């Protein structure tokens, strides 16, 4: 589970975020490209979840 204290600054504000433990394996953006993007060598959330189907695939 991501740690809020280690949240990457590139995430958009909201409930979901990536922390600095990310090794940028691309799994996030492959599973939910409408939510995650790459920034500064990490995956970050650029769109908070609004679709239940996307949320199910991501969690």
Which of 10, 16, 24, 58 forms a contact with ligand SF4 (CB under 6 A)? 24
Q: Is residue 58 a contact point for ligand SF4 (CB under 6 A)? A: no
Smallest distance, ligand SF4 to C-beta of residue 46, A: 13
Give me the helices (H) in 1-59, please.
27-31, 52-58
Q: Is residue 25 a contact point for ligand SF4 (CB under 6 A)? A: yes
Please choose, out of 4-12, 18-26, 50-58, the segment that lies near ligand SF4 by the rule CB under 6 A.
Answer: 18-26
Residues 6+ apart with CB under 8 A from 32: 54, 57, 58
CA–CA separation, 52 and 45 (whole Å): 16
């Amino acid at each position: 589970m991501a740690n809020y204290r280690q949240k990457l600054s590139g995430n958009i504000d909201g409930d979901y975020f990536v922390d600095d433990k990310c090794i940028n394996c691309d799994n996030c953006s492959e599973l939910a490209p409408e939510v995650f993007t790459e920034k500064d060598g990490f995956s970050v959330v650029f769109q908070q979840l609004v679709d239940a189907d996307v949320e199910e695939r991501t969690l």
